[in-house]
Amino acid sequence: MPKLLLITASSPEIRNVRRSRVLNFQQITMPYLAAQTPPGWDVIHVDEEAEEINWDIEADVVGITFHTPSAYHAYEIAARFKLRGICVVMGGPHVTLLPEEAGQHADVIFIGEAEGLWEEFLKSFEEGSYQHIYQQTSAPSLENIPMARKDLFHRHDHTNGVIFATRGCPHECDFCTIAVMYCRKLRKRPIAEVAAEYASFNGKIIIFWDDNISADLKYAKELFHAITPFRKWWSSQASIHAGRDDEFLEAAAQSGCKQLFLGLESISQQSMAGVNKGFNRVEDYFQIIEHIHSHGIAVQAGIVFGFDHDTPEIFKNTLDFLEEAGVQNATFNILTPFPGTPLFRRMEAEGRILSRDWRKYNSRRDVVYQPKQMSAEELLAGFQYANERFYSSPSIAKRLSQSPVQLWWTLPLNLAYGYRWRKTAHK
Ligand code: SF4
């Protein structure tokens, strides 16, 4: 039986960066790809966030998926297996964004999604001939996608299952790789199939890995009604539109939604307009967060620092806002112009890209472009300040007393984040 080794690659630097996070969810690409592999293959999955690669392992094909900051690391993995004469296949976000580069390191690359083409490649491989590039000509249907292989989930996190209902997002924010990878096209799995997979997890806590679960509000509400009977708890990413729709929030809460990750990005309206995300109306943020809280749902704010209209005051002002709004959790990122995005092209044209070392495209430790209103050092220092202040005891007390939604788990989580941040911040 031919052997397929699937690797979710993560460089040592990225693993180090992730140590500051308490929650580090299982990536789903490879468990879903494994499920789409024909039955004649023996499939092994190595998730580098959880385990080391056994370099002596026997394999006929090695498949590697990775994000931009792990690109060089993935190329090193590829080189080691190629030295042994093993066919190396690469796919994932960085390959889709920069296929010419990735193609130099692999026997086969997949540009875009693998559905449909994956089986075709494996069949060709078994017949002794295959192409160098497999590329979708149109977005594949998400119907009849087999459930992800649960036996290949290796990461130990605080959840019991990861799943996706939709792929892509109809918006076109300049900095977002999702918009580039899926060409602004939103696709949805049939609700019955999602509900069946959701129900198939034994545990209580499920993460929807959707880029934006509120991208189609009607679909989302139907999905929430379908999963309500299973009495699980779930969380997902959503755009600001989620917080404006009472029916959405009501259905989400009833179906077990405990937290929404909201892509607020910035409290500067000019910054939002500058990256084609003007639909985030900053003046509505406070009310939207309050609205979500009123349904018993906690808010995790996604915040990005370093937009062109951000001045050095942005850090303190953002933290003042998050504390006043009683936001339970936040993820701070340094703006990163990922290759292939409109933001990268614009900054490149303006001569502001400071580094093309993909290892530095980690959004947390390095600034890879010249910010407009501050120095790179100020941006980095502001990012540190935001994390330190957000997870300080006074801030935790202020935020969680302001909105004691889901206090039983948001308090320990905040304390754990604070501890982890202090332990790893300067390493
Ligand atoms: S709304 Fe979110 S997922 Fe959609 S394009 Fe903008 S940043 Fe990306």
pLDDT on residue 283: 97
Last residue of a domain, one of 101, 135, 169: 135
- Half-sphere exposure of residue 254: CA atoms within 13 angstroms, side-chain side: 16
On whether both 254 and 287 belong to a single domain, the answer is yes
Look up tokens 């309500």; give the residue.
228
Q: Which residues in 57-188 belong to E strands, given as ranges?
A: 61-65, 87-91, 108-111, 133-135, 161-163, 166-167, 187-188
Between the CA of 100 and the centroid of ligand 1 the distance, in Å, is: 25
Q: Tell me: do 305 and 334 sit in the same domain.
A: yes
- pLDDT at position 419, please? 84
Question: What residues make up the domain containing 313?
Answer: 150-424
Same domain, 280 and 338: yes
User: What pLDDT is stored for residue 265 in this prediction?
Assistant: 97
Tell how strand 187-188 and strand 166-167 pair up. antiparallel
Residue list, ligand 1 pocket, CB within 6 Å:
169, 171-173, 176, 178-179, 211-212, 239, 263, 277
For residue 309, what is the domain's CATH number? 3.80.30.20
Dist. CA 3 → ligand 1 center (Å)? 37
| Residue showing tokens 């996070």 | 21
Both 69 and 204 in a single domain?
A: no
- Residue among 97, 164, 176 whose CB has most ligand 1 atoms within 8 A, to mutate: 176
The rounded Å distance from CA 43 to ligand 1 centre is 33
Question: For a pocket test of ligand 1, which of 277, 304, 335 has the largest count of ligand atoms closer than 8 A to its C-beta?
Answer: 277
Same-domain status, 254 and 338: yes
Query: Ligand 1, closest atom to CA 277?
Result: 6
CA–CA dist 85, 257 (Å, integer): 48
Residue that is last in its domain, among 135, 163, 188: 135
- Of all protein residues, the one whose alpha carbon is nearest to atom 8 of ligand 1 is 176
In testing the pocket of ligand 1, which one of 166, 171, 174, 186 has its CB within 8 Å of the most ligand atoms? 171
- Measured in Å, residue 242 CA sits from the centre of ligand 1 at 13
Question: Are residues 237 and 119 located together in one domain of the fold?
Answer: no
Express each pLDDT in 103-137 by its tens digit: 999 999 999 999 889 999 999 999 999 999 999 88
Query: What spacing in Å lies between the alpha carbon of 52 and ligand 1's midpoint?
Result: 33
pLDDT tens across the length of the chain (427 residues): 999 999 999 999 888 877 666 666 778 899 999 999 999 999 999 999 889 999 999 999 999 999 999 999 999 999 999 999 999 999 999 999 999 999 999 999 999 999 889 999 999 999 999 999 999 888 889 999 999 999 888 766 666 789 999 998 889 999 999 888 887 789 999 999 999 999 999 989 999 999 999 999 999 999 999 999 999 999 999 999 999 999 999 999 999 999 999 999 999 999 999 999 999 999 999 999 999 999 999 999 999 999 999 999 999 999 999 999 999 999 999 999 999 999 999 999 999 999 999 999 999 999 999 999 999 999 999 999 999 999 999 999 999 998 888 899 999 989 988 888 887 765 5
- Residue 192 and residue 101 share a domain: no
In a domain, 48, yes or no: yes
Please, how many CA atoms are within 13 Å of residue 120, restricted to the half-sphere of its CB? 12
Pair of tokens at residue 219: 């679909």
Is 363 in contact with 14 (CB distance < 8 Å)? no
The answer to whether residue 409 is domain-embedded is yes
Looking up residue 116, the CATH number of its domain turns out to be: 3.40.50.280
Looking at the fold, whether 164 and 130 belong to one and the same domain comes out as: no
Q: In this predicted model, what pLDDT tens digit does every residue of 293-336 receive, in sequence order?
A: 999 999 999 999 999 999 999 999 999 999 999 999 999 999 99
Q: How far is the CA of 68 from the centre of ligand 1 (A)?
A: 18
Q: Is residue 170 part of a domain?
A: yes
Domain endpoint, select from 78, 104, 135:
135
ipTM more than 0.85?
yes
The minimum-distance atom of ligand 1 relative to the CA of 179 is: 5
For 120-142, letters b (16+ CB in 10 Å) and e give: ebbeebeeeebeeebeeeebbeb
